[in-house]
Structures are given as structure tokens and as C-alpha cells.
């Protein structure tokens, strides 16, 4: 059973989140601010964190930065009333994995929690399997039709990310930020080049294809 830590200074909202999560089979622990959440992490194994931003004692940005510096790698879903791009960018730079803006759709929150936990499990195992296609992160290899092929690092990382979240649309900027780094000077069109190479290599793969979502980015889908 997955254990989720909810960090929120609004007690009614905190209790609501935990009530819904428990109904969906999760164990839930509450904390009223970032410092209290760190105290929980020091004593309890947590699989995923849901955190508000605006909190007393220690806010969400500082909390996430603190736990990342301490090498806690649990997925973090940040929930906030702040909806500007700058606020989101600050959250992602601090180390959050996903972002929701209040007012929260509870059902959507549960779906995002499930997706983050699945992604975290894939990353922990460092392996993705789609049909008869297997990706091994540690060796940068793809096995299909009983043939193993090692991909260039950037191509492998793009494919691993797409196949880890089937049907999820990733923008070119998201792929650039995660794979090339936030401070890269490489042009975003580089992503198109790598996607083109991947499509050529896997054009006959029966398990998946990479689809362009016009005006948005790319996603991998099952054939």
C-alpha cells in the first residue's frame, strides 16, 4: 500500500485530501507545513508527497528544495493558488514533478497521484516494457524482436520518457529542460531531429509509435 504525505496548512483541505486518498486505498499522513513534513520524512517511509506552496514556517518551494538537497527522490505534486508561469517554473526548478492549481478537482488529483506513482516505480526499476519492446535504462538498450540495440543517450532518454507515460503529451520545451537541462543553449529544434531518428529506427515496431500533437508536442501511443 502506497503511503502519501499531504503538506497543507489549511486543515479542512488537508483532511479532505487524505479522506479521498484513503478511500482510494492509500495510506495518508498529514503535515501542516514544510518543517513538519521534513520531520515526518525523517521517521517514516513516504512514497509520494502532495504539497501546498504558501505555508507558514517553511513554504512549499523551500520544502521541496530542502528534500531534494537531502536526496529524497519521492515524486512531489505541488498544489497552489499561484497560477503564473513564473510560479510554475520556480516549482519545477525546486524539484517538483507535477503541478495543480486551486481549486482542485479531487478526481484529477487522484489520477495524477496514480500516474506519478507508476512513473516513480518505472524509474526505480529503470526498465520500461511496452508489449514485446523492452528498454533498459542502465545500458541504454532497446530489445525488440529478440534483438538488442544500444541507442545514443539523448535518443534513449527521449524514448524512455515517452514510453514511461504512454499517451501523455510532452512539449519540446519539457523534453529540452529534462534531457538537455534548463540552462542548455541547444535549440529546441534538436528535439525534432532526435524524434525523427527514433521514428526511422522504430517505424516497423508493432508495439508503439511516436505521434506529433500539432501545436503541442509529442506522445507515444500503443499501435
- Give me the CATH number covering residue 62: 3.40.50.2300
- Claim to verify: residue 89 and residue 156 sit in the same structural domain: no
Share of the chain above pLDDT 90, in %: 51
- Claim to verify: residue 113 and residue 55 sit in the same structural domain: yes
- Claim to verify: residue 142 and residue 61 sit in the same structural domain: no
Domain containing residue 63: 3-119
- Claim to verify: residue 52 and residue 114 sit in the same structural domain: yes
- Claim to verify: residue 48 and residue 147 sit in the same structural domain: no
How is residue 102 written as a grid cell?
Answer: 486551486
Confidence (pLDDT) at 169: 86
Residues 6+ apart with CB under 8 A from 166: 130, 208, 219, 220, 221, 222
Phi, psi of 30 (to 5 degrees): -105, 145
- Claim to verify: residue 87 and residue 65 sit in the same structural domain: yes
Determine how many CB atoms are found less than 10 A away from the CB of residue 120.
17
How far from 9 is each of 54, 82, 142, CA to CA, in Å? 8, 15, 45
Tell me how many domains the chain contains: 2
Domain final position from 119, 153, 179: 119
Tell whether the model's pLDDT for residue 151 goes beyond 90.
yes
Confidence (pLDDT) at 182: 67
CA distance 129 to 133: 6
- Claim to verify: residue 94 and residue 149 sit in the same structural domain: no
- Give the residue carrying C-alpha cell 528498454: 135
- Claim to verify: residue 15 and residue 35 sit in the same structural domain: yes
Among residues 142, 182, 148, 181, the alpha carbon closest in space to that of 162 is found at 142
- Claim to verify: residue 14 and residue 103 sit in the same structural domain: yes
CATH code of the domain covering residue 130: 1.10.10.10
Share of the chain above pLDDT 70, in %: 98
Q: State the average pLDDT for the chain.
A: 88
- Claim to verify: residue 99 and residue 190 sit in the same structural domain: no
Domain final position from 70, 87, 119: 119
Domain final position from 119, 153, 170: 119
CA distance 214 to 5: 37
pLDDT, tens only, 43-76: 888 889 999 988 999 998 999 999 988 878 889 9
- Claim to verify: residue 88 and residue 112 sit in the same structural domain: yes
pLDDT, tens only, 83-117: 777 777 788 888 888 989 888 899 999 999 998 98
- Claim to verify: residue 61 and residue 150 sit in the same structural domain: no
Amino acid at each position: 500500500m502506497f503511503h502519501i504525505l499531504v503538506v497543507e496548512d489549511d486543515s479542512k483541505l488537508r483532511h479532505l485530501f487524505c479522506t479521498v486518498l484513503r478511500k482510494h486505498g492509500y495510506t495518508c499522513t498529514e503535515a501542516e507545513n514544510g518543517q513538519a513534513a521534513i520531520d515526518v520524512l525523517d521517521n517514516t517511509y513516504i512514497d509520494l508527497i502532495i504539497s501546498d506552496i504558501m505555508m507558514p514556517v517553511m513554504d512549499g518551494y523551500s520544502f521541496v528544495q530542502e528534500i531534494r538537497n537531502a536526496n529524497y527522490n519521492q515524486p512531489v505534486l505541488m498544489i497552489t493558488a499561484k497560477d503564473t508561469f513564473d510560479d510554475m517554473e520556480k516549482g519545477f526548478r525546486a524539484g517538483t514533478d507535477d503541478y495543480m492549481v486551486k481549486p482542485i478537482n479531487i478526481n484529477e488529483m487522484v489520477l495524477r497521484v496514480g500516474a506519478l506513482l507508476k512513473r516513480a516505480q518505472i524509474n526505480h526499476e529503470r526498465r520500461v516494457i511496452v508489449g514485446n519492446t523492452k528498454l533498459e535504462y542502465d545500458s541504454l538498450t532497446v530489445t525488440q524482436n529478440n534483438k538488442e540495440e544500444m541507442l545514443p543517450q539523448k535518443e534513449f532518454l527521449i524514448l524512455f520518457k515517452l514510453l514511461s507515460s504512454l499517451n501523455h503529451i510532452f512539449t519540446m520545451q519539457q523534453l529540452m529542460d529534462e534531457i538537455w537541462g534548463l540552462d542548455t543553449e541547444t535549440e529546441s529544434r534538436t528535439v525534432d531531429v532526435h524524434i525523427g531518428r527514433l521514428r526511422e529506427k522504430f517505424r516497423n515496431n508493432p508495439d508503439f509509435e511516436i505521434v506529433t500533437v500539432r501545436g503541442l508536442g509529442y506522445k507515444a501511443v500503443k499501435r
